[in-house]
């Protein structure tokens, strides 16, 4: 258990207090309305025909059989897309519906609307697509030399980062090649939405997503409609973790609703969901670390290759992160990092919690342990010796101006006492319910890892969020398009509003494109800073308007007026008015909040590309059954750099959840792809940790060093928990097994290493 | 499509007689997955059997346990059942989540006849008898004649699995299952070891390492004849040989859940470990 005291505040929670989620109880009791629960009495059901081939030319598509089925209202193909056929987050390179070629298994080819899901299924089965199957390009290492599988070519982005003196050689050098498998975000609520045609010829879409305005803009272009005629509203989101940053069924639903003139609902099946969203990039990484004999890091060389799959998605930004954070949170005077993300006929990859930094953390932390071994040095001491701190330069040449408590997260994490209680319950041993081990079969391992990444969008992207604060009768209403995907904006927006305006009651209006400007994406650990910042500024603007109005109406000195606990009082003591009375006439402010500008990197990967960074460390203790290769993570301890803790309860949830995804990647989570085909598109075979696999997360420390420029000094906290957790677990497995384990997830066969085994 | 919710065994058998190829729905934990995946789209008649009183629960008749086909995994986990059928109780605990164990049934495990069926190696090691009934009458089959191949069994059109007969525990029993997750996982390899103290026999059932559950006769024979039954001990050499023979009897395949080599290896390890739990290993 954690030391964090979760207490219910006496009044409605403000900044720094634990605010329980308003949707918490409804979700646990099953009454929360997810986007898959949307309903309209006149609605049709939609469905998608997907390519069974990873690579094929489409010779013809015959929809006549499907159209002839009673109850089928529409069967649409690429020829029915009125606007741009292509869409994409960074580059429009993915067709709304495949035209003459399919580039991955599961690519959308046709869509159907009908009166019943069963009719949809029959209609999809009746569409005849003549495919000329071609050999898929599945090896990312071969992609650049291979025949282009897309007009944009097979190299999505390469970054060459050269930092410092390129001739430095270390007396001690260690080298390693590491591999990370394809992880899925494994959200529980499959892609789903409901589209309604509007009277003005436009369309409304209720959908679960991470970024309403980006979705809206991409879809509007495909529909050939002005953005204002395409109105998106956030519906109940069942998890995201990056998988909802790209479009999935958005354009399809809008097309079907516009074509049929009727509301259309679509819900992906679990299997379809695995094909319907991007995954974490699989990575192959080669490293060489140079150090002097005292353990000072001198230089890091690395070659990173990420498999982007068939379409670009956010691959360009992912490889930028992987490259920039390739060597970890250490001060390194010289580096040569080559990062490439390539196109293949494998499933498309894009955003997932940790965004490029997860993969490289597996590599750089394994290298640090290897280097410590080569030096005969304690691995913690080696890390502390080289830990980044505020004022240091990154490999991009950027100086860290904010907080960088790397040593603090490491020290507090490793110094935290272990609370492990020995258990002789067979269920608590590796193998769990399978009862495969007795205590004397088990060996224990322990290790730590540290990681970091950027917060907010980088490389010159004009990143902003918008919020409207409306104050009347002492009640504040906040309108912001920030997608609540579980991260806790719904509590935070209220806490911030109460803090700034001193109100008790705060209403959150629905997140929608029609009522407010973009909030940007719920990703990159950015919404607490960006939309939190927008809400803060909007509330401050309203406060200023209010105080000016009161000063004017009551002829009091504006500089003497303050807003405290629902009262406007004059510091000179001769004036007081309660907020409800003062706001019978409404006040409103609509603001856009931008973070400090960033800049693109130059041809050597150098530049001030990022705003801020967050750091975390994990210590893992694992039990291993070496003979069977089964494992159990028995303890996980973490410290994280949070700037300032705004909602302790929510923060604990983020640290636990992120670590759980990290444990999953370390020991079980992998989308298995063979010849471009997913072999485990179900929760039967895509395994995520259960309660028997995930230990309680011990939070050693929240390091609170307020971040300059961040609202309330708070850093985003969503991603760091999933960065170093994987690396710590795999390092502990190395400690227990004495195996090199260069690949995650670590499989039983990697530990057992049978001579006649060819996995 | 028609769905009959049978309220009695007669009701089910009459309906099944009229629709001999009807799909039998018990807990639905396998069937609904198949339906959701569209593998069974042409189904015409479904007979739901989970409300038939005659198929519920279990009872002991002398040394025999009579298990209703509708016995759920959750019921098998309970301590009263575990006292007389420990290996089956342990196998039941490894099936899915609590929700799945509340719905899934022993009869369903037999009806699906998946190589990964968790109760099947236990039933094999117990020499379970499967009692089938149709409108015309009843017949009994030994488990290894009932399971005929991958997801195939000897149930004829018009027949229903009614009961399963197993002996009450006559000695130590063990069930082990390998999966890359510590709970809620499909078997990669499983093994049941049943000690029959009266007859001085050890019986071994292997799961997920062949199209059907396997009984490694040589391994059983080796252990049974080399155990010191008076002292309840066994030599290290016997355990090693038992392990080798059990592994050699496996007929595993490579698939996305595990390799054949790993499965064979795991059978050997589990065989040795379960035997060492049942009998004390003699110190050299």
Separation CA A345–CA A103 (nearest Å): 5
- The DSSP string of B141-182 is EEHHHHEEETTEE-PPTT-EEEEEEEEPP-S-EEEEEE-SSS
Question: Which helix (H) or strand (E) segment is A370 a member of?
Answer: helix A357-375
Q: How far is A631 from chain B (nearest CA, A)?
A: 8
**Taking CB atoms and an 8 Å limit, are B259 and A758 in contact across chains?**
yes
Find the CB nearest B176 among A436, A668, A679. A436
**Taking CB atoms and an 8 Å limit, are B259 and A691 in contact across chains?**
no
Q: B1, B6, B26, B7: which is closest to B16 by C-alpha? A: B6
**Which residues in chain A have their CB less than 8 angstroms from residue B90's CB?**
435
Q: pLDDT value at position A23?
A: 92
Search chain A and give the residue with CA nearest B185.
Answer: A684
Q: Does B100 touch chain A (CB under 8 A)?
A: no
Q: What mean pLDDT is predicted for residues A143-166? A: 98
Say which residue the tokens 């001030």 belong to. Answer: A608
B210 CB neighbour count, 10 Å cutoff:
17
Give a three-class secondary structure readout of A21-32: CCCHHHHHHCCC
- Residue A9: pLDDT above 60? no
Separation in Å, CA B18 to CA B14, B26, B132: 6, 19, 17
Q: How far is B178 from chain A (nearest CA, A)?
A: 6
Say which residue the tokens 């099953």 belong to. Answer: A30
Q: Where are the domains of chain B?
A: 2-167, 173-281
At A103-132, the pLDDT tens digits run 999 999 999 999 999 999 999 999 999 999
Q: pLDDT value at position A758?
A: 53
Q: pLDDT value at position B41?
A: 62
Sheet strand arrangement including A561-564: A561-564, A567-570, A576-578
**Taking CB atoms and an 8 Å limit, are A690 and B262 in contact across chains?**
no
Q: What mean pLDDT is predicted for residues A673-690? A: 97
The fold of the A401-450+606-759 domain, in CATH, is Aldehyde Oxidoreductase; domain 4 (3.30.365)
Q: Does B283 touch chain A (CB under 8 A)?
A: no
At B189-244, the pLDDT tens digits run 999 999 999 999 999 999 999 999 999 999 999 999 999 999 999 999 999 999 99
Find the CB nearest A747 among B178, B180, B261. B180
B33 confidence band (pLDDT: 50, 70, 90): confident
Q: pLDDT value at position A757?
A: 63
Q: pLDDT value at position A1?
A: 37
Search chain B and give the residue with CA nearest A692.
Answer: B182
Q: pLDDT value at position B43?
A: 65
Q: How far is B212 from chain A (nearest CA, A)?
A: 20
Separation CA A86–CA A93 (nearest Å): 6
At A747-758, the pLDDT tens digits run 999 999 997 665
* CATH topology match: A401-450+606-759 vs A464-594: yes
- ipTM value for the complex: 0.96
At A208-237, the pLDDT tens digits run 999 999 999 999 999 999 999 999 999 999
Return the minimum-mean-pLDDT range out of A307-311, A423-427, B39-43, B245-249: B39-43
**Taking CB atoms and an 8 Å limit, are B184 and A690 in contact across chains?**
yes
Q: Does B215 touch chain A (CB under 8 A)?
A: no
- Residue A74: pLDDT above 80? yes
Q: pLDDT value at position B151?
A: 96
Q: Are A255 and A47 in contact (CB under 8 A)?
A: no
**Taking CB atoms and an 8 Å limit, are A680 and B256 in contact across chains?**
yes
**Taking CB atoms and an 8 Å limit, are A680 and B93 in contact across chains?**
no
- The DSSP string of A389-403 is -TTPBPTTSPBP-S-
**Which residues in chain A have their CB less than 8 angstroms from residue B258's CB?**
748-749
**Which residues in chain A have their CB less than 8 angstroms from residue B181's CB?**
432, 668, 687, 689-690, 692-693
- Residue B119: pLDDT above 70? yes
- Percent above pLDDT 70 for chain A: 98
- Percent above pLDDT 90 for chain A: 95
Q: φ, ψ for residue A369 (rounded to 5)?
A: -65, -40
> CA B252, B257, B259, B262 torsion: positive or negative?
negative
Interface probe for A, chosen from B88, B178, B181 (most Cβ of A below 10 Å), is B181
**Taking CB atoms and an 8 Å limit, are B182 and A632 in contact across chains?**
yes
User: B-contacting residues of A 632-661, CB under 8 Å?
Assistant: 632
Say which residue the tokens 């005659």 belong to. Answer: B54
Q: A452, A286, A450: which is closest to A372 by C-alpha? A: A450
Q: pLDDT value at position A8?
A: 46
Q: φ, ψ for residue A9 (rounded to 5)?
A: -70, 155
At A41-57, the pLDDT tens digits run 999 999 999 999 999 99
- For B214, which DSSP code? B
Find the CB nearest A749 among B186, B256, B259. B259
User: A-contacting residues of B 22-81, CB under 8 Å?
Assistant: 33, 36-38, 41
**Taking CB atoms and an 8 Å limit, are B94 and A433 in contact across chains?**
yes
- Residue A189: pLDDT above 60? yes
- Residue A5: pLDDT above 60? no
User: A-contacting residues of B 105-164, CB under 8 Å?
Assistant: none
Q: B55, B153, B150, B142: which is closest to B105 by C-alpha? A: B55
**Taking CB atoms and an 8 Å limit, are A432 and B181 in contact across chains?**
yes
Q: Are A158 and A340 in contact (CB under 8 A)?
A: yes
Q: Does B248 touch chain A (CB under 8 A)?
A: no
Q: Does B94 touch chain A (CB under 8 A)?
A: yes
Q: A98, A114, A112, A93: which is closest to A52 by C-alpha? A: A98
Q: Give the E-state strand segments of A343-433 in sequence order.
A: none
Find the CB nearest A754 among B180, B184, B262. B262
**Taking CB atoms and an 8 Å limit, are B262 and A693 in contact across chains?**
no
* CATH annotation of B2-167: 3.30.465.10
Search chain B and give the residue with CA nearest A746.
Answer: B180
Separation CA B165–CA A619 (nearest Å): 51
- Rounded to two decimals, the pTM is 0.97
Q: pLDDT value at position A2?
A: 40
Q: Are A308 and A705 in contact (CB under 8 A)?
A: no
Interface probe for B, chosen from A48, A182, A436, A437 (most Cβ of B below 10 Å), is A436
Average model confidence (pLDDT) for chain A? 96
- Residue A11: pLDDT above 90? no
A660 confidence band (pLDDT: 50, 70, 90): very high
Q: Does A117 touch chain B (CB under 8 A)?
A: no
Separation CA A564–CA A583 (nearest Å): 15
**Taking CB atoms and an 8 Å limit, are A758 and B185 in contact across chains?**
no
Q: A190, A180, A369, A212: which is closest to A281 by C-alpha? A: A180
> How is residue A379 written in tokens?
């691995």
Q: Where are the domains of chain A?
A: 401-450+606-759, 464-594
Q: Does A433 touch chain B (CB under 8 A)?
A: yes
User: B-contacting residues of A 685-704, CB under 8 Å?
Assistant: 685, 687, 689-693
Average model confidence (pLDDT) for chain B? 96
Assess whether the previous peptide bond of A566 is cis (omega < 30° from 0).
Answer: no
* CATH annotation of B173-281: 3.30.390.50
**Which residues in chain B have their CB less than 8 angstroms from residue A433's CB?**
93-94, 177, 182-183
- Residue B40: pLDDT above 80? no
Q: pLDDT value at position A7?
A: 46
Give chain B's radius of gyration (CA, Å). 19
Separation CA B208–CA A344 (nearest Å): 35
- C-alpha triplet B18, B20, B23: angle, nearest 5°: 115
Q: pLDDT value at position A4?
A: 47
B233 CB neighbour count, 10 Å cutoff:
14
**Taking CB atoms and an 8 Å limit, are B182 and A693 in contact across chains?**
yes
Q: How far is B132 from chain A (nearest CA, A)?
A: 30
What is the number of residues in chain A? Answer: 759
Q: Give the E-state strand segments of A597-643 in sequence order.
A: 612-625, 630-641
Separation CA B248–CA A757 (nearest Å): 16
- Residue A277: pLDDT above 80? yes
**Which residues in chain A have their CB less than 8 angstroms from residue B33's CB?**
684
Interface probe for B, chosen from A435, A632, A686, A745 (most Cβ of B below 10 Å), is A435
Q: Give the E-state strand segments of A580-718 in sequence order.
A: 587-594, 612-625, 630-641, 673-674, 677-678, 697-703
The fold of the A464-594 domain, in CATH, is Aldehyde Oxidoreductase; domain 4 (3.30.365)
Find the CB nearest A668 among B176, B180, B265. B180
User: B-contacting residues of A 717-756, CB under 8 Å?
Assistant: 747-749, 752, 754, 756
Q: A417, A436, A452, A441: which is closest to A635 by C-alpha? A: A417
- For A211, which DSSP code? -
**Which residues in chain B have their CB less than 8 angstroms from residue A430's CB?**
182
């Amino acid at each position: 258990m954690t030391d964090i005291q979760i207490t219910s505040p006496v009044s409605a929670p403000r900044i720094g207090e634990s605010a329980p989620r308003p949707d918490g109880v409804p979700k646990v009791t099953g009454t929360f309305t997810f986007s898959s629960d949307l309903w309209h009495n006149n609605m049709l059901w939609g469905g998608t025909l997907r390519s069974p081939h990873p690579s094929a030319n489409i010779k013809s598509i015959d929809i006549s059989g499907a159209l002839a089925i009673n109850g089928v209202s529409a069967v649409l193909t690429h020829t029915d897309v009125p606007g741009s056929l292509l869409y994409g987050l960074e580059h429009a390179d993915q067709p709304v519906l495949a035209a003459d070629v399919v580039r991955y298994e599961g690519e959308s080819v046709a869509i159907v609307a009908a009166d019943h899901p069963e009719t949809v299924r029959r209609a999809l089965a009746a569409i005849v697509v003549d495919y000329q199957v071609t050999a898929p390009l599945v090896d990312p290492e071969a992609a650049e030399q291979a025949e282009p599988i897309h007009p944009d070519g097979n190299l999505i982005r390469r970054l060459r980062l050269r930092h410092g003196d390129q001739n430095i050689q270390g007396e001690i050098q260690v080298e390693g090649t590491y591999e990370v498998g394809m992880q899925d975000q494994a959200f529980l609520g499959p892609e789903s939405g409901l589209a309604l045609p509007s009277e003005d010829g436009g369309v409304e879409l209720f959908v679960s997503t991470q970024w309403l305005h980006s979705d809206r803009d991409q879809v509007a272009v495909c529909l050939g409609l002005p953005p204002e005629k395409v109105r998106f509203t956030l519906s109940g989101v069942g998890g995201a973790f990056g998988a909802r940053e790209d479009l999935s069924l958005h354009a399809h639903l809008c097309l079907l609703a516009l074509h049929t003139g009727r509301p259309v609902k679509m819900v992906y099946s679990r299997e379809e969901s695995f094909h319907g969203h991007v995954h974490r990039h699989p990575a192959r990484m080669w490293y060489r670390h140079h150090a002097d004999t005292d353990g000072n890091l001198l230089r890091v060389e690395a070659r990173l290759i990420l498999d982007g799959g068939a379409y670009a998605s956010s691959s360009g930004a992912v490889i930028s992160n992987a490259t920039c954070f390739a060597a970890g949170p250490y001060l390194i005077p010289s580096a040569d990092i080559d990062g490439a993300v390539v196109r293949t006929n494998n499933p498309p990859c894009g955003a997932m919690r940790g965004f490029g930094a997860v993969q490289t953390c597996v590599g750089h932390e394994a290298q640090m342990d290897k280097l410590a071994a080569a030096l005969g040095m304690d691995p913690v001491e080696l890390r502390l010796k080289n830990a980044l701190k505020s004022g240091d330069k990154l490999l991009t040449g950027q100086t860290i101006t904010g907080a960088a408590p790397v040593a603090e997260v490491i020290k507090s994490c490793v110094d935290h006492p272990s609370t492990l209680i020995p258990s002789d319950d067979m269920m608590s041993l590796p193998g769990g319910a399978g009862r495969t081990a007795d205590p004397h079969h088990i060996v224990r391992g322990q290790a730590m890892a540290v990681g970091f990444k950027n917060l907010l969008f980088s490389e010159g992207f004009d990143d902003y969020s918008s919020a409207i604060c409306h104050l009347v009768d002492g009640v504040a209403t906040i309108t912001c398009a920030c997608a609540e995907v579980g991260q806790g904006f719904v509590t935070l927006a209220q806490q911030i509003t109460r803090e700034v305006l001193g109100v008790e009651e705060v209403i959150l209006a629905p997140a929608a494109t029609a009522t407010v400007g973009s909030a940007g994406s719920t990703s990159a650990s950015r919404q607490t800073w960006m939309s939190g910042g927008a809400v803060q500024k909007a509330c401050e603007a309203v406060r200023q308007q209010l105080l000016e109005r009161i000063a004017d109406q009551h002829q009091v000195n504006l500089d003497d007026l303050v807003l405290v606990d629902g009262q406007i009082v004059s510091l000179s003591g001769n004036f007081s008015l309660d907020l409800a009375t003062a706001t019978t006439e409404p006040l409103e402010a609509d603001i856009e909040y931008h973070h400090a500008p960033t800049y693109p990197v130059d041809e050597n990967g150098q530049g001030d590309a990022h705003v801020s960074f967050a750091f975390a460390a994990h210590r893992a203790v694992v039990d291993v059954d070496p003979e069977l290769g089964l494992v159990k993570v028995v303890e996980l301890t973490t410290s994280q750099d949070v700037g300032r803790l705004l909602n302790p309860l929510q923060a604990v949830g983020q640290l636990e959840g992120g670590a759980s995804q990290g444990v999953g990647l370390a020991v079980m989570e992998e989308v298995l792809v063979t010849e471009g085909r997913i072999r485990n598109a179900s929760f039967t075979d895509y395994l995520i940790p259960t309660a028997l696999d995930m230990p309680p997360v011990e939070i050693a420390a929240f390091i609170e060093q307020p971040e300059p420029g961040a609202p309330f000094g708070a850093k985003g906290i969503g991603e760091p928990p999933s960065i170093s957790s994987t690396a710590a677990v795999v390092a502990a497995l190395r400690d227990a097994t004495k195996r090199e384990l260069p690949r995650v997830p670590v499989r039983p066969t990697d530990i057992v290493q049978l001579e006649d085994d060819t996995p | 499509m028609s769905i009959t919710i049978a309220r009695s065994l007669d009701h089910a058998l009459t309906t099944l007689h009229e629709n001999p190829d009807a799909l039998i729905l018990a807990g639905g934990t396998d069937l609904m997955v198949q339906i959701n995946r569209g593998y069974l789209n042409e189904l015409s008649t479904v007979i739901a059997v989970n409300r038939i009183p005659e198929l519920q629960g279990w009872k002991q008749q002398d040394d025999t346990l009579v298990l209703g086909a509708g016995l759920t995994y959750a019921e098998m986990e309970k301590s009263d059942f575990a006292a007389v059928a420990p290996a089956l109780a342990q196998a039941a605990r490894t099936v899915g989540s609590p929700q799945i164990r509340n719905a899934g049934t022993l009869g369903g495990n037999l009806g699906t006849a998946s190589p990964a069926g968790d109760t099947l190696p236990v039933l094999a090691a117990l020499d379970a008898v499967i009692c089938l009934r149709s409108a015309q009458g009843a017949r009994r089959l030994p488990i290894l004649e009932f399971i005929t191949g991958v997801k195939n069994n000897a149930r004829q059109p018009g027949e229903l699995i009614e009961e399963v007969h197993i002996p009450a525990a006559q000695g130590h029993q063990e069930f082990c299952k390998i999966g890359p997750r510590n709970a809620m996982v499909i078997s990669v390899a499983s093994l049941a070891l049943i000690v029959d103290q009266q007859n001085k026999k050890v019986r071994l059932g292997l799961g997920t390492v062949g199209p059907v559950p396997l009984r490694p006769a040589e391994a059983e024979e080796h252990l049974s004849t080399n155990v010191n039954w008076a002292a309840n001990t066994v030599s290290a050499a016997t355990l090693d040989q038992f392990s080798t023979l059990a592994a050699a009897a496996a007929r595993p395949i490579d698939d996305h859940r595990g390799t054949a080599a790993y499965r064979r290896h795991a059978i050997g390890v589990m065989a040795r470990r379960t035997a060492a739990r049942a009998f004390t290993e003699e110190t050299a």
